[in-house]
């Protein structure tokens, strides 16, 4: 990371989180996300415009990936199902 990056992080009172050089686990979560996005959406499309691609990606993330996609860490349930289960128990 450049010195200017460190300065911005400090000014904004962010907490930087990085391990040493060559640690492949730093980016594992986002790399996993990109892999899923490519395999489930992008490799199956032929976008004619950048706008069409961006719109499709936003829709995928907001309407499917973040809400309805089944996740191992949630007991093979979707975030939406976890939410419903939580509020059903609370009622």
pTM across the whole model: 0.57
Whether the CB-CB separation of 53 and 47 falls below 8 Å is answered with yes
Residue 83 covered by a domain: yes
- Lowest mean pLDDT across 10-14, 15-19, 39-43, 59-63: 15-19
Q: Tens digits of per-residue pLDDT, 23-69? A: 667 778 888 889 999 999 999 999 999 999 999 999 999 888 888 88
- Residue 20 domain-assigned? no
> Does the pLDDT of residue 76 top 80, yes or no?
yes
* 91 pLDDT higher than 80: no
- Within a domain: residue 16? no
Confidence band for 9, pLDDT divided at 50, 70 and 90:
confident
Judged by DSSP in three states, 16 sits in coil
Task: Give mean pLDDT, residues 2-31.
Answer: 75
Q: How many domains is the chain partitioned into structurally?
A: 1
What gap in Å lies between CA 24 and CA 59, rounded to an integer?
29
- pLDDT attached to residue 17: 66
Which of 75, 71, 45 is CA-nearest to residue 59?
Answer: 45
Domain that holds residue 44: 25-90
Instruction: Confirm whether 6 is domain-assigned.
Output: no
For the record, the structure tokens of 85 come out as 């289960």
4 in a structural domain: no
């Amino acid at each position: 990371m450049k010195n200017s990056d460190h300065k911005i992080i400090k000014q904004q009172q962010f907490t930087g989180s990085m391990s040493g050089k060559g640690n492949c686990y730093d980016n594992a979560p986002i790399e996993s996300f990109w892999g899923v996005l490519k395999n489930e959406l992008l490799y199956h499309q032929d976008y004619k415009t950048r706008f069409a691609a961006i719109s499709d990606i936003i829709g995928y993330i907001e309407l499917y990936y973040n809400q309805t996609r089944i996740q191992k860490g949630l007991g093979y349930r979707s975030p939406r199902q976890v939410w419903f289960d939580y509020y059903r128990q609370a009622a």
